[in-house]
Amino acid sequence: MTHPASITLAGLGASLLAMAACTPNANYALATEPYPVARATGPTLQIQAEPEGDQLRLENLTVHAFKAPRLWVNRRYVCDLADIAPGETVIVPLINLRDQWGQTPYPSTMFRLHAPTPIVLVEIDPGPDQPLLGLVVVEPPTEER
């Protein structure tokens, strides 16, 4: 015979899980400005951007350094980066990327509640008077079933 308290706890746990699935990932206090659509775009650089679970791995394969650039993802999410040296690899946690509503991209992790946000366009913003520079997005390996 099942104890009534265990049924109540199971129901409570299911309710909390359902409520967590409905909560948005927005933090309006961390909202940023919208993507600068009027800005010119420049060439694509030999900097690889590879999504890895809950982070984005940037590998600067150029001989150029970038002084405190901004990183734009999917023409929506943005974050400020530290200086990037030639040959340096930078790890950007996806939680650092925010959009104009304070939302973050959904990571590709095991215990996710939503489908992961595909990373299809990554750009570096070197400064307000310079064009946005494209990065090479490396597609993560697909899961075979």
Residue 73 CA to residue 95 CA, distance in Å, equals 12
Q: Give, in order, the Cα–Cα distances in Å from 48 to each of 25, 65, 93, 103.
A: 27, 15, 16, 24
In a domain, 5, yes or no: no
Please give the structure tokens belonging to residue 13. Answer: 């746990």
In a domain, 43, yes or no: yes
Phi-psi region of 99 (alpha: psi -120 to 50; beta: other; left: phi over 0): beta
Place of tokens 């927005």: 26
Which residues constitute the domain of residue 63? 25-137
pLDDT at position 110, please? 76
In a domain, 13, yes or no: no
In a domain, 7, yes or no: no
In a domain, 20, yes or no: no
In a domain, 47, yes or no: yes
pLDDT at 13 exceeding the cut of 70: no
- The pLDDT tens digits of the residues spanning 122-137 come to 999 999 899 999 999 9
Q: Are strands 70-73 and 77-80 parallel, antiparallel or unpaired?
A: antiparallel
User: How many CB atoms sit inside 10 A of residue 39's CB?
Assistant: 15
In a domain, 17, yes or no: no
In a domain, 90, yes or no: yes
Residue 85 CA to residue 66 CA, distance in Å, equals 7
Into how many domains does the chain fold? 1
User: How many CB atoms sit inside 10 A of residue 83's CB?
Assistant: 11
Report, as an integer, the average pLDDT of 92-109.
92
Q: Rounded to 5 degrees, what are φ and ψ at 94?
A: -60, -25
Instruction: Name the 3-class secondary structure at 78.
Output: strand
pLDDT at position 139, please? 85
Question: Considering the chain, what is the average pLDDT of its residues?
Answer: 85
pTM of the model: 0.79
Residue 126 CA to residue 128 CA, distance in Å, equals 7
